[in-house]
Structure 1
Amino acid sequence: MIKNLFKRIKSQKGMSGVLVALLLVIVGVGLVAGVNTFMKGASTKIQTDANNSINAATAATTAP
């Protein structure tokens, strides 16, 4: 994958092509990092809500 990236960068004509290729790489990495952070936060929230619901349900069934 990295080799293909370097081949694409080297095959670009002029400096503007190289800058565009590097910009696309930076945007891609930022997008992946942002989605990963969002998914981790959402996963934590869902797990917390599920645990609260389970605790409430078990407490309601065991209460006299």
Structure 2
Amino acid sequence: MQPTINYEEVLNALKLLKQDNQLFEIRIINGKWNASGYFTSPEVAVQELKKIRIKDNTNIYF
């Protein structure tokens, strides 16, 4: 089953916690599979997150 993610809330949280143009990383870990990316724009980060199929046992860090 794929969990429901409210991307608008993710965007709001990133905007609240990160200053403009501040570099941050998002890392996605699911068992042996992982992905990460570095961003300076919360909007771009959320657009990239939307491309990933997130499963129930996935951990996402930033």
Say whether the fold is shared (TM-score over 0.5): no
Give the structure-2-normalised TM-score: 0.30
Give the structure-1-normalised TM-score: 0.30
Structure that is richer in strand per residue: 2
Structure that is richer in helix per residue: 1
